[in-house]
Amino acid sequence: MVKQQINIVWLKRDLRLRDHDPLAAAIDNGLPTLLLFCFEPSLMACPESDVRHWRFVFESLADLQNRLKIREKQLYAVHQEVITVLEWITDFYQIQQVYSHEEVGIKITFDRDKAVKKWCTEQGIAYQEFPQNGIIRGRKHRQGWLKLLEKSTFKASATKVDLEKLQTLSIDPVLLEKFTTAPLPSVIQSYQEGFQRGGETYAWRYFQSFLQERSKNYNRQLSKPAGSRTSCSRLSPYLAFGCISAREVMQHLDAHLSQSADRWNLNNFRSRLWWRSHFIQKLETDWRVEIAPINPVFVQLDRQMDGPWFEAWAQGKTGFPMVDASMRCLQATGWINFRMRAMLVSFATFVLWLDWRPVATHLARLFLDFEPGIHYPQIQMQAGLTGYHTLRMYNPSTQVTKNDPDGIFIKKWVPELQAVPSTLLAEPWKMTPMEQKFYHCSIGSDYPVPLVDFDKVAAQNKDRYWQIRQSPAAKQILSSILEKFCTPKEIKIHQQKETRP
């Protein structure tokens, strides 16, 4: 029997119908197209993965499905490894082409992509991958990269996807039965209060409300854990799962900027979009950023992999209100602002002297917007492992007085401190026994005694760190690191700065 020829668009972290090169290429080709997403058990079981990510993906696919259904088209989501699904499909159809986006992911997805490519080659199936976010595959230096990013990605026209011309495939009922044999756990299929909902529709809603209204407080609220929740764009999970393309965000922003008087806030937001690609390119340049310090000399830091301090940090029970509130908020909502992310990492690695890898894994699970290319380079930077970034050790008590002076954020997430006056929230352990009684918060029973004496430990660990950072071995490798990961402008800045403050 002659099998019907089809193409496949394999969706991964590109869950949208706009500005989508694989989709546009499949439409151009003209063959019936199977739109496919695989909930891969191997990925769902990896340590960085959490139900919150797959729920977001499920919601995003449901959004696409609803919009396709209006046009009598559809996609298929299968709870199975992708190669197994492709093998099932070949029993029924002759696959001519598989289209997908390149993914700058963790090692397991990188290996999976290579395996799919190999499988396609062995089957005589063409496999075409398209770049996204301006990331250049295999690039080992940054000469000219920034210009290329602006010209070839951000300023280039968004890809038009003519959905009317898209011919999606309605699959054979026997294959459909195979596709539906392993249903997703119900916890993935039900909405969880407190989290952003997935989907291209929501992505554009968040973006529009940011441009129209919320951005006016962007700079002022960026570092505030409470105010940032509405004043930042909150586009991160949508960008991470590709519900909206970075190029479309940039282009709509530029169009808006040309008519807006508010350059102060919007230009700062614009620079974040540039940073996004800049960081993702780092992981593309060297996948080992996920597993090893960028400057290998820092393995000598010999930080703890686990233990009771890790547990206290991970559960938000360190006795430092801003650390605990940030961690608990993250657990309940999947989002916290940049400053508090940086503080959580610097507190774990510089104060508690915990190894960056379990810290990175724990946060990856909690961040709804887990984007490996931003996450690992940022964690390494905050943990001091690049050897060229300015060392920032955030004092959690200062963060309270500067960024939550009224204690609104802390009281929401650490209810044990509800009755404590805001003036005492930076250092609640200094409350007298009488105050503790008066404010219904006994330190040591209602709320933990702080794990460490911050000032003392921070000073000791700073010394420990700088001994290694200033060693000849650390400096020897610095120029090759800078060349690999930094733009020429950054190299100049970092070379000038390399002295201990």
Ligand X SMILES: Cc1cc2nc3c(=O)[nH]c(=O)nc-3n(C[C@H](O)[C@H](O)[C@H](O)COP(=O)(O)OP(=O)(O)OC[C@H]3O[C@@H](n4cnc5c(N)ncnc54)[C@H](O)[C@@H]3O)c2cc1C
Q: State the minimum distance, in angstroms, from the CB of residue 122 to ligand X.
A: 34
Query: HSE-up of 34 (CA within 13 Å, CB side)?
Result: 30
Nearer to ligand X, 76 or 206 (CB): 206
* Contact assessment for residue 26 and residue 117, using Cβ atoms and an 8 Å cutoff: no
234 is an annotated ligand-binding site residue = yes
Q: State the minimum distance, in angstroms, from the CB of residue 364 to ligand X.
A: 7
Amino acid occupying residue 344: L
SS (H, E, C) 247-262: HHHHHHHHHHHCCCCC
The residues of the shown chain that bind ligand X, judged by CB under 6 A, are: 232-236, 239-240, 269, 272-273, 275-276, 279, 337-338, 341-342, 345, 367, 369-371, 374-375, 378-379, 382
236 is an annotated ligand-binding site residue = yes
What are the CA-CA distances from residue 136 to residues 101, 103, 142, 168 (Å)? 12, 11, 10, 30
Q: State the minimum distance, in angstroms, from the CB of residue 365 to ligand X.
A: 11
Helix and strand element counts for the chain (H, E):
26, 5
Q: Which of 7, 18, 466, 478 is nearest to 242 (CA)?
A: 18
Q: State the minimum distance, in angstroms, from the CB of residue 356 to ligand X.
A: 10
Q: State the minimum distance, in angstroms, from the CB of residue 235 to ligand X.
A: 4
Q: State the minimum distance, in angstroms, from the CB of residue 65 to ligand X.
A: 25
Q: State the minimum distance, in angstroms, from the CB of residue 280 to ligand X.
A: 8
* Contact assessment for residue 287 and residue 380, using Cβ atoms and an 8 Å cutoff: no
Q: State the minimum distance, in angstroms, from the CB of residue 371 to ligand X.
A: 4
Overall residue count recorded for the chain in this entry: 501
367 is an annotated ligand-binding site residue = no
401 is an annotated ligand-binding site residue = no
Nearer to ligand X, 8 or 243 (CB): 243
209 is an annotated ligand-binding site residue = no
Where helices occur in 93-194 by DSSP H, the ranges are 107-123, 145-148, 173-179, 186-189
245 is an annotated ligand-binding site residue = no
233 is an annotated ligand-binding site residue = yes
CA–CA dist 81, 78 (Å, integer) = 8
Nearer to ligand X, 36 or 374 (CB): 374
223 is an annotated ligand-binding site residue = no
Query: HSE-up of 44 (CA within 13 Å, CB side)?
Result: 19
Name 439's Cβ contacts closer than 8 Å, sequence gap at least 6.
Answer: 419, 420, 421, 424, 431
* Contact assessment for residue 320 and residue 450, using Cβ atoms and an 8 Å cutoff: yes
Nearer to ligand X, 7 or 236 (CB): 236
**CA 427 centroid distance within chain:** 32
Query: HSE-up of 260 (CA within 13 Å, CB side)?
Result: 17
> H-helix or E-strand containing 166?
none
Nearer to ligand X, 378 or 403 (CB): 378
Q: Which of 335, 129, 383 is nearest to 239 (CA)?
A: 335
- The two tokens of residue 296 are 């290998």
Name 375's Cβ contacts closer than 8 Å, sequence gap at least 6.
Answer: 360, 363, 364, 367
Calculate Rg over the CA atoms of the chain: 24
Q: State the minimum distance, in angstroms, from the CB of residue 442 to ligand X.
A: 33
Q: State the minimum distance, in angstroms, from the CB of residue 240 to ligand X.
A: 5
Strands (E), 88-144: 93-101, 126-130
206 is an annotated ligand-binding site residue = no
Name 153's Cβ contacts closer than 8 Å, sequence gap at least 6.
Answer: 133, 134, 246, 247, 277
Nearer to ligand X, 100 or 337 (CB): 337
Nearer to ligand X, 162 or 213 (CB): 213
Nearer to ligand X, 301 or 345 (CB): 345
Amino acid occupying residue 185: P
Nearer to ligand X, 344 or 424 (CB): 344
Nearer to ligand X, 14 or 371 (CB): 371
Binding residues are 218, 230-236, 269
Binding residues for FAD are 218, 230-236, 269
